[in-house]
Amino acid sequence: MQQKALFMIAHGAAVWVVDSGARTVTVYGEVGNRMLTDADSLAGGSPLPGFEVEVAVAESLAVE
């Protein structure tokens, strides 16, 4: 999975990695990397305009 994520980032995509155990979402992309906690919201940016979800909700959607 890491190799696929690196390929996608190198070609301009953003990648969201949800860690339900740590209750975080790490966003990797063109503007650098950021780690969000369950107190934050995750926005879709230009690929998904208008999309926004609370990290606490995103964690419950994670595929393990």
Domain locations along the chain: 2-60
Q: Rounded to two decimals, what is the model's pTM?
A: 0.74
pLDDT in 10s for each residue of the chain, 64 residues: 678 888 888 888 888 888 878 888 898 886 788 999 989 998 888 778 899 988 887 666 666 6
> So what's the pLDDT on residue 19?
84
Instruction: Give 32's strand partners.
Output: 29
> So what's the pLDDT on residue 47?
79
Kindly provide the b/e burial profile for residues 32-49, where b requires at least 16 CB atoms within 10 angstroms of the residue's own CB: eeeebeeebebeeeeeee
Our CA dihedral for 32, 62, 4, 15, rounded to 10 degrees, sits at: -20
Locate 61 and state its tokens.
Answer: 């959607």
